[in-house]
Amino acid sequence: MALWQSIPFACILLPLGSAAMTSVLKGKFARRWTFIVLTVVTALSACFTYFIWGYGESYTYMMGHYPAPWGNEIRGGLLEGITALFFSLIMLLSLLGGVKKLDDHVLHDKHSLYYVMILLLTAALMAQVYTNDIFTAYVFVEIMTISACSLIDARTKGRTLVAATRYMIMNLLGSGLFLLGVILLYDLTGHLLMSNIKEAVAELHATGEYTLPLTVVVALISIGLSIKSALFPFHTWVPDAYGYTTPASSAILSSLVSKGYIFLLIKIMYRVIGLDVIMATGIHNVLFLFGLVGMIMGSISAIRQNDIRRMIAFSSVAQIGYVYLGIGMGTEAGMLAAVFHIFSHAVCKAMLFLTAGGLADASGNSKHFRDLRGSGMRSPIAGVAFTVGALSMVGFPFLGGFISKLNFGTAAMALGDMKTLLVLVALAVSTWLNTVYFLRTVITLYRPALPGSNYSVEKGRRGFCFSLSCVAFAAVNIALGILSQPIVSAIRMGLDMFA
């Protein structure tokens, strides 16, 4: 076994071990160590993607000394590599962009604990991406829930406390359903490793036994994970959770935590249940419908907000709707569009949350549109980066969002008449609604400030880290738009390896 095949294991263990170690470090050292670990994980994931691309097929990595049906396994493939690379990169950049605001928002002696949670979250994300064992996935889902809750609660404020509690309640309902699904699946198949479950499920499907329990399993797992990733009717916790905490937490929650669950769902659909069994149960139609309604309703709610962070949070609901729409199409092309949208939305939304924090800084810490007038001039880098993000969300060419929408449109053409029409109409309406609220915001940012308002621009407040992260995010966004061909073909190759 080549040395690079141990990289996924290192990517999980390094943040997990560091999280335990960071809890005893002082704030400054904890911060440095966290940045070192995140950089190393990003670099390792990049190496892994490179090697697995050359290797050309997926492999399983035995954890401990017991082979397949008994031991625990990690599985490495191209899609896992790319996802890990994107997730760790976004984690690093989000933390980099929000690190200065932590001084204001997090109690001084609790700083190292914040980094503990960041590292735990990274470990949980990596484990969900790489694991080949469904119960391990459940355990890391719970670790992710706990650390995400602590990230919301990091800013000590009444509103974040309630938001964290509501987040926790909804997520516990979600994990309850997910766990019940996993337990039923284990009882049906007698296996915990994904590849073994898939064989058993295919056999059950072929013989036609246990059709109803299998449908229940698929429903429980899909609904559980869609509650946790804030699909439309279950999104009530989103605006408070994303809207009031520190910008780094909002960026990480909206772009990584929800996407981690969606990646797990896609993984379960491909690697555990199998797409044809999912099709037979018809659950994908439910996800398709919820996604479709979410795209529209999320945007309508976003238009009605007068607080920039809550507006971006509702926009997340709409974008999660896009991802579930792609999953619900049930075709290879739809799944491809969904995975690409996971990346493009993650990059974009993290940048929007960070820059919204920067813009609010330049407007006397207010997030309301009337105070934000002219903030694009007062804080040029944040203004430009926000504009790039907004244009990407709207679907402007040369940016990631355009390729996403193109992928969804292409995928829709291969569906039946009614579904094609529904998707295309929803895409058009949703794009129009996106344009309304994002371009309105961009215009607000560059309008002259209301007379009588006087914001002293605190120079050097946001500093080098924030600018660096904004520039890097904008660059990744443009790279996703311009270099979309290799990325899309890599995702396609990864999805082929998945099945």
Partner 1 sequence: MNFFTNYEEMAAMILFGIGFTTLLLDRNMIKKIIGFSMMDSGMYLFLAAKGYVEGRAAPIVVDGIQSMEYYINPIPAGLVLTGIVVSVSVSALMLALTVRLYRRYHTLDIDKITAQVRKEEA
Closest approach, Cβ 387 to partner 1, in A, equals 29
Tell which residue, 485, 391, 376, has the closest CA to residue 438. Answer: 391
CA 339 → CA 11, 329, 435, distances in Å? 21, 13, 23
Q: Are 360 and 366 in contact (CB under 8 A)?
A: yes
Q: How far is the CB of 162 from partner 1 (least distance, A)?
A: 5
C-beta of 99 vs 154, nearer to partner 1: 154
Residues 292 and 398: their CA atoms lie apart, in Å, by 25
Contact (Cβ atoms closer than 8 angstroms) between residue 417 and residue 319: no
Give me the least distance between CB of 175 and partner 1, in Å please.
8
Nearer to partner 1 (CB atom), residue 153 or residue 371: 153
| Nearer Cβ to partner 1 (33/135) | 135
Q: CB–CB of 387/376 below 8 Å?
A: yes
At its nearest, how many Å lie between partner 1 and the CB of residue 26? 24
The total of other beta-carbon atoms located within 10 Å of residue 181's CB is 23
CB closer to partner 1, 45 vs 150: 150
**Rg for the chain (alpha carbons), in Å?**
22
Identify whether the C-beta of residue 45 lies closer than 8 Å to the C-beta of residue 84. Answer: yes
Between 138 and 288, name the residue whose CB sits nearer to partner 1: 138
Q: Give the other-Cβ count within 10 Å of 485's Cβ.
A: 9
> Residue 159 CB, nearest distance to partner 1 (Å)?
5
Rounded-to-integer distance, Cα 357 and Cα 169, Å: 27
Contact set with partner 1 (CB under 8 A): 135, 139, 142, 145-146, 149-150, 153, 158-159, 161-162, 164-166, 168-169, 172-173, 176, 179-180, 183, 186-187, 190, 192
Comparison of 145 and 430: residue with beta carbon closer to partner 1 = 145
Q: How far apart are CA 317 and CA 384, in angstroms?
A: 24
Q: Which is nearer to partner 1, 152 or 394 (CB)?
A: 152
* Tally of CB atoms within 10 A around 406: 16
Burial of 319 (0-12, 13-18, 19+ CB in 10 A): buried
- Decide: 20 and 76 in contact? Cβ < 8 Å: no
How near is the Cβ of 172 to partner 1 at its closest, in Å? 6
Q: Which residues, 6 or more positions from 206, have their beta carbon under 8 angstroms from its beta carbon?
A: none
Tokens of 21: 């170690």
Asked if 342 and 236 touch (Cβ cutoff 8 Å), the reply is no
The distance of closest approach from Cβ of residue 42 to partner 1 in the complex, given in angstroms and rounded to an integer, is 29
Q: How far apart are CA 96 and CA 35, in angstroms?
A: 8
- By residue count, the chain amounts to 499
Sequence-ordered list of residues with C-beta below 8 angstroms from that of 496, at least 6 positions apart, any chain: none
Give whichever of 173 and 465 is closer to partner 1, judged by the CB atom. 173
CB of 187 to partner 1, least distance (A): 5
Query: Which amino acid is located at 375 in the chain?
Result: S
Distance CA 20, CA 33 (A): 12
DSSP string, 297-314: HHHHHHHT--BHHHHHHH
| Shorter beta-carbon distance to partner 1: residue 181 or 395 | 181
Nearest to 492 by CA among 319, 347, 331, 344: 331
Q: Nearest approach, Cβ of 150 to partner 1 (angstroms)?
A: 8
Return the number of the residue (7 or 134) whose C-beta is nearest partner 1: 134
| Least Å from the CB of residue 402 to partner 1 | 37
In the complex with partner 1, which residue's Cβ is closer, 115 or 138?
Answer: 138
Closest approach of Cβ 179 to partner 1, in Å? 6
CB of 336 to partner 1, least distance (A): 34
* For partner 1, the closer CB: 76 or 181: 181
